[in-house]
Amino acid sequence: MAPDGETVTNRPEFQTVKEAWSFSGDLGATWWFYPIHLVTGEKGKVIVDIPDGMPDEWKGKQVSTLSKYFSENSQEICDWINGETSFPIVEKIA
């Protein structure tokens, strides 16, 4: 997910969440526009795992819910990614 809420889904078949994270780690610099990688369920709509350090509240949320929040708060998200503010998201996502 990009700071503006845009998402790109790369859907190879994974047997485990660990395999998905391994794939994510090997994507390289071409994915720097999408700095937050998430593991989603079978249809890519529900978040099933998150990167270390991200709020546990994201698990089980719809990708579209998080995307909408990012879109509406993109400057806050960019400031957080750049280390300028604390994480702005936990209480705000419905």
Domains of the chain by residue range: 1-94
- 20-76 pLDDT, tens digit per residue, is 888 888 776 656 667 788 999 888 899 999 988 788 888 999 999 999 988 998 898
Given a cut of 70, whether residue 93 has pLDDT beyond it is no
**Which residues is 49 bridged to in the sheet?**
39
- Pull the structure tokens for residue 4: 């503006």
Q: 3-class SS at 89?
A: coil
62 beta partners: 46
